[in-house]
Structure 1
């Protein structure tokens, strides 16, 4: 039968009288629940931020193609390199087997401010092909991206971030104005809004810092190649050679070194299967012409699989989540013991109530109501402690990750629900023991 408001008020009244009789024990249980839940929620907030899907509306449509140009003697346990050589990257781009295809590599650029009083400064940027902005749903404050025709013409165009636009132009609409990069003039075609997917899954040039600040410049891939702009990071080869060992830019382009990230957009499963076949056939053709002397070894991973491969979730946040859950379990074990002592101390009261006709179901409802109220109090305390913990997470976790953690409405609600649910679970065994009290024994012992 459903419990009426009058019955709930009755059980609430019993709970309140019980709390007043054992204030210290009740306060200790509430403190344990609050500390355990708060520790767990702070770690969960950080873990949730680090493990979140950065583009959930289309993460199952975006894929990273990998082609093994290193061979079994040099790859990592059979896994192809995470990046592509220039030869394979350009072949992928020109084949146009996907709805969209993007090439990316990072580099550093020297910005020359128009104001002669200001000193030049270095800025991280990405060289990307024109599909980049549409593929990753980049948001623009002014203007937009460049066209495929601009790619073909190696146009001197650039998209800048809102932060760089604020620094150079005071936040005004700068589309059509020019900016000097490495002593070359570029026309601004777009200014991004505050767009910063976290983690920045598409940018292998920042693979080891996926939660750091976004790139401030985006220029045509073809233009960067034409200017012989070297990759700033993540240039690796099947041997111990590095880019400085290659005598000239033409040697870099024709080497088997991997330094370019590739992404393709495949809307349907049929598209995925067709593209996977194309990758396999491409690698087989490279084997046939003598470039590879091993069987085709290719991979096609969506965003979720790619984040797993790259181990984007920091070990510190995953470990802290495990430790926090363990701490909550320890708190619950202690709460079970305290509730058991608290409930069994009231055995005479239970015996009298049973003798007066109270059923075991009534005892269950009474003590579970008390547990729920304790859990609610522990949850409210947990909210306060969670807020305090969130204010200091930057001292425990990397600042780039700590700034992503949010104390939002969902976390507030989850904190209270976890506290109440944990209290009810902890009260199950003590309540069962209390309901087993035999009224005859209690009346005889009190007589």
Structure 2
């Protein structure tokens, strides 16, 4: 019977070419618009480390006080004083300090121009905590952190530029007139968004860093942050008299992550964090009650509003457009099905049940939806080629028409067609055979 229903659907489409084409165009445009914006939203809102996101947390401590914080929430970053205290307390399985910086790479050939490079100053647990993949070598040790060692991990792109992609572990590069020994070369590891660095940068989808150096080393050479730097008063970084003043200040500019594998670990760390803030209050540093927070990856991305408003708004608009298309498709299918009332009457008179009529027209709707889905795939592919003009280029280039989006496009088109056909099919099944035979007799 399924083959028979498909045959009836094919004959119906051939008889109503213009109406069928209009339904297909509406379905294709509606589904394609929805899928293109969904592809961008999916990239922006995806969990960047799903196998571990429930174990990674950002601690926050309010060192500004209720008169200066934002709606009662602690600052998103830590002061140097708090960052160092939390790092050396070692209350988590792993803990990482991060801040962004800019370095000048001096080539061996003096005739070549210096190369400005963006880097992150991080503590040694960084690579293990965030499951960084290495092509050559690895990260540095806690001992290197303690010794403020002049070591560096570079990206595969920078390794390709400097050493032609060869194993460069053990070789040296000159950064800001200081020699650094390469201990590792990352593989093509470019988390997007840069969830671990979103507080210390201005854009979560910025280009990946080319250098990773020990946090302690960056502090030792007085490397200023290129990321966010804010204080509880109108004081800003450049107005502080010297580097020691920056380190002693209550200004927030260092991001911190901790790894807590179990719920018990999370509860313990949250209690310890609260006790630490209470201790600072007792010491007179804080004049307010402890105000701390501990957010996992998903909560942190929500706090930082990583998903661009443009992509979320575009998805809402595109879904609304698809619904408008569905309303129009319902009207067209109703007109299409009711024009065949005489045919339905004859079938019912010959013994076809209402269930058979339902199956016939739903199969026809599914066939139309499948064709609309194929048209939607073509339009989606065309739309993906131009999304860089509508969305942020850094996000747009990450969106792909992969197998999952391919299947979802077809599935949405078929389901949308079936939903749109429910009312017209119900109306068609209510046709009275006796009345149709009388009218057409």
Asked whether 1:373 is paired with 2:367, we answer yes
Asked whether 1:254 is paired with 2:254, we answer no
Partner residue in 2 for 1:44:
38
Partner residue in 1 for 2:291:
297
State how 1:322-341 maps to structure 2 within 5 Å: 322-341=316-335
Q: Secondary structure at the match of 1:202?
A: helix
Decide whether the 8 Å contact of 1:158 with 1:190 is kept in 2. yes
Instruction: Pick from 49, 52, 55 the counterpart of residue 58 of structure 1.
Output: 52
State how 1:24-423 maps to structure 2 within 5 Å: 24-204=18-198, 207-423=201-417
Q: Give a deviation string over 1:78-136, Cα, whole Å, max 9, x none.
A: 00000000000000000000000000011111100112221102111111000000000
Unaligned runs of 5+ in 1: 1-6
Decide whether the 8 Å contact of 1:154 with 1:222 is kept in 2. yes
- Give, in angstroms, the shift of residue 205 of structure 1: 5.6
- Give, in angstroms, the shift of residue 9 of structure 1: 1.1
Give me the CA root mean square deviation. 0.8
Decide whether the 8 Å contact of 1:160 with 1:188 is kept in 2. yes
The alignment's TM-score, normalised by the length of structure 1, stands at 0.98
Q: Give a deviation string over 1:158-214, Cα, whole Å, max 9, x none.
A: 001111111111111110000000000000000111101110001146543111210
Distance 1:205 1:174 in 2: 31
Q: Give a deviation string over 1:285-329, Cα, whole Å, max 9, x none.
A: 000000000000000000000000000000010011001100000
Decide whether the 8 Å contact of 2:123 with 2:216 is kept in 1. yes
Distance 1:207 1:107 in 2: 10
Decide whether the 8 Å contact of 1:157 with 1:189 is kept in 2. yes
The alignment's TM-score, normalised by the length of structure 2, stands at 0.99
Q: Secondary structure at the match of 1:341?
A: helix
Decide whether the 8 Å contact of 1:105 with 1:204 is kept in 2. no
Decide whether the 8 Å contact of 1:106 with 1:205 is kept in 2. no
Distance 2:29 2:440 in 1: 39
Instruction: Pick from 2, 17, 21 the counterpart of residue 23 of structure 1.
Output: 17
Distance 1:197 1:247 in 2: 37
Q: Give a deviation string over 1:358-378, Cα, whole Å, max 9, x none.
A: 111111111011100000000
- Kindly tell me the number of residue pairs found equivalent between the two proteins: 441
- Give, in angstroms, the shift of residue 233 of structure 1: 2.1
Distance 1:338 1:41 in 2: 23
Asked whether 1:443 is paired with 2:437, we answer yes
Distance 2:139 2:115 in 1: 24
Partner residue in 2 for 1:4:
none
